[in-house]
Amino acid sequence: MRARPSVPRGLLYNRAMALSIYLAGPDVFLPDARRVGAEKVAICAELGFEGLFPLDADVTPDPSAIFAGNRELMLRADVGLFNLTPFRGPSADAGTTLELGFMAALGKPVYGYSGTAVEFRERVAARFGVARRDGRLWGGDGLAVEDFGLRDNLMVDGAIEAIGGDFVTLEGEGEEGGLAAFAAFRACLERVRARRRG
């Protein structure tokens, strides 16, 4: 029989909650990540969920251990909730999108939220400039730009839609100072709760 992996001490959660939600996102890079995580876990509890927030830096400096701990939390979680607020560029954090794909491949419900309602192609345009040629949209970097009116890369939006989740965007909490996107987070959690009740 395989030994049950221990949960790293830096993780914040409450085992008494019925539905467990993995809280992924670039929040872990914030200087006050512990406070942000605690607040998001508290909001989960308020709405009747168990929040699983990974605190990578508090667990270990070993990247393999961080990966294993986060993977274990994703396997344990019933639902994934992903902070897809643009991070260090026009798109969501790369690690967060990998986690979203992992949980979607497991067939678990996945939801996304973002502190910006600006479409992905508009964010690319703001960063690189765009021009339309031969019926396609091209970036100032010489590469094609997805022109679908989606909130992020089509594989991100597509995974959430395919698994029956939702992607909540609220303007006013963008990358500058609002990476945690608390209002969008709460709105997304309320969608999860409404779907569970429905």
Predicted confidence (pLDDT) per residue in 84-116, tens digit: 999 999 999 999 999 999 999 999 999 999 999
Predicted confidence (pLDDT) per residue in 32-75, tens digit: 999 999 999 999 999 999 999 997 546 678 889 899 999 999 99
Q: Is the pLDDT of residue 120 over 90?
A: yes
Average pLDDT over the chain, rounded to whole? Answer: 88
Q: Is the pLDDT of residue 5 over 80?
A: no
Concatenate the DSSP letters of all residues of 70-124 into one string: HHHHHHH-SEEEEE-S--SSSS--HHHHHHHHHHHHTT--EEEEES--S-HHHHH
Instruction: Quote the pLDDT of residue 11.
Output: 38
- Which candidate, 75, 83, 135, places its Cα nearest to that of 105? 75
Predicted confidence (pLDDT) per residue in 152-197, tens digit: 999 999 999 999 999 999 987 654 448 999 999 999 999 999 998 8
CATH code of 19-118+154-197, in short, is 3.40.50.450
| 157 three-state secondary structure | helix
Q: Is the pLDDT of residue 1 over 80?
A: no
Distance, CA of 14 to CA of 171 (rounded, Å): 31
| 127 three-state secondary structure | helix
